[in-house]
Amino acid sequence: MGVRVLVGTAKGGFWVTSGNRRDWEVAGPFLKGWKVTAGLRLPDGRFLAAVASDVYGPAIHMYRNYVHNSTWEQLPGGPEYPEGGPSRFRQIWTLAENRGTLYAGVQDAGLFRSTDGGNSWDPLTGLNEHATREAWMPGAGGLCCHAMLFSPDNPERMWCGISAVGVFRTDDGGASWVPKNRGVYWAHEDEEFKEIGYCVHGLAQDPDDPEVIYRQDHSGMYRSRDGAERWERNESGLDSAFGFPIVLDRATRFLFAVPQESDQYRVPVGGALKVMRSTDGGDSWHSASAGLPAAHAFGTVLRGAMSVDDLEPGGVYMGTTSGTLHVSTDLGESWTNLPVVLPRILHVSAWVD
Amino acid sequence: MPSVTVTLPSLLEPATGGVREFSASGETLRGVFADLVEQEPRLKPHLFDESGDLRRHVLCFHNGTNTRWMDGWDGPVSDGDVVLFMQAVSGG
């Protein structure tokens, strides 16, 4: 089985592909000059890529992989905040699909969804105009909604993560949203709205029990066993609990995270690019970093720049802010550093091809 | 109605399928902008923000004059005028 990896960088997208996960081909850049901030493969085989430019703003492009000489094509519509309103649509941080509906988590923080394949998008105003909205404060990366989770058991239940605001859950299909951050240490305390001010960085979910959610937060590593009602710290073995991505291999439920040296420095601890793996649902963490640069490595892995491919054994992929790209095809036992130096890597998604 | 040539920067080619030059019609610059985004709606979010104004770092020149120096977009345009979009060099 082959693998296709979409690598989104600050200056365009790249395809990294392999038929055997040993020999890799790199193609690109496509959408040259644009930040490629999120990627998604749709059930019909099309790919979506979110782009953004500091000058020209954001958009979503579509690629038909199955069409010879296909090119990226900007979708006719996209998320849009009301003209004259307080929110600006600056960037898409995550694209997701659930039960035929597309979702986009955006900056300024909000959610939009499309039921026509991405041609038109509707705001989820229950979140975008939440009662606490006036107190939402941007984190260092901006005020962004960057994570979405779904319940395979309950179509009405979804979660989203907003940096420096927190995790929200809906139990009515997105009409209303409730902050769910009990047990998490706050990042900044609002005078009036005590239920927000929690800085979620990344979320991962157990595929068999969607109520089990793992959370890489600004304030540490957490786990919830009850759909985000309560969170508990699970940091045993981590030499730093600060980081951004957290991903899960579906077959083994192994977790992968990339610690950084505190929010003040945001670099690999001691200059060693290290992946931490948990094989016991977050109870303990151990280094799974053989082959990664062990010294003089100060590029970090951003929240969207790590992915798993769902093959067996699972492949893990990550890109750094220094443009280096790293692949493990044995669940982190060993790593290969691909011979590329790309622009700052913002996004990595891997799919079986 | 006057017809105006509108030229776009290469970075916007992905939004237009590679087209960098449009012929747009209008009695005023505002009308030309409206015709442009009607012809190619995918340009709208790249050129204009939620305030309805040009994006902060987008420059537009009408016959060589920066539109930000004009008193709005309601002055007349003439057949054969040139409208050029480019990005502001706002820093290095």
Distance, CA of B86 to CA of A65 (rounded, Å): 32
Alpha-helix runs per DSSP H in B27-74 = 29-39, 44-47
Q: What is the pTM of this model?
A: 0.96
Probe site for chain B from A54, A56, A119 (most B CB atoms < 10 A): A56
Give B-chain residues touching A75 at CB under 8 angstroms: 42
**Does residue B69 sit within a domain?**
yes
Give B-chain residues touching A48 at CB under 8 angstroms: none
**Does residue B82 sit within a domain?**
yes
Give me the pLDDT at residue B90, please. 63
Give me the pLDDT at residue A352, please. 94
**Does residue B9 sit within a domain?**
yes
- Asked if pLDDT for residue B73 goes beyond 80, the answer is yes
**pLDDT for A179-226, tens place per residue?**
999 999 999 888 899 999 999 999 999 999 999 999 999 999 999 999
- Asked if pLDDT for residue A303 goes beyond 80, the answer is yes
The mean predicted confidence, pLDDT, of chain B is 94
**pLDDT for A309-351, tens place per residue?**
989 999 999 999 999 999 999 999 999 999 999 999 999 999 9
- Asked if pLDDT for residue B79 goes beyond 90, the answer is yes
User: Three-class SS of residue A312?
Assistant: coil
- On the 0-12 / 13-18 / 19+ scale of CB atoms within 10 A, A49 is buried
User: Three-class SS of residue B90?
Assistant: coil
ipTM of the shown complex: 0.93
Percentage of chain B with pLDDT > 90? Answer: 91
We report the CATH number of the domain holding residue B34 as 3.10.20.30
Distance, CA of A136 to CA of A322 (rounded, Å): 30
Give A-chain residues touching B49 at CB under 8 angstroms: 57, 88
**Does residue B41 sit within a domain?**
yes
Query: Domain containing B72: what range?
Result: 3-87
For chain B, the domain total comes to 1
**Does residue B92 sit within a domain?**
no
Give me the pLDDT at residue A68, please. 74
Of A61, A76, A82, the CB nearest to B41: A76
Give me the pLDDT at residue A249, please. 97
- Asked if pLDDT for residue B92 goes beyond 80, the answer is no
User: Three-class SS of residue A214?
Assistant: strand
Give me the pLDDT at residue A1, please. 79
Give me the pLDDT at residue A25, please. 96
Give me the pLDDT at residue A218, please. 96
The mean predicted confidence, pLDDT, of chain A is 96
**Does residue B36 sit within a domain?**
yes
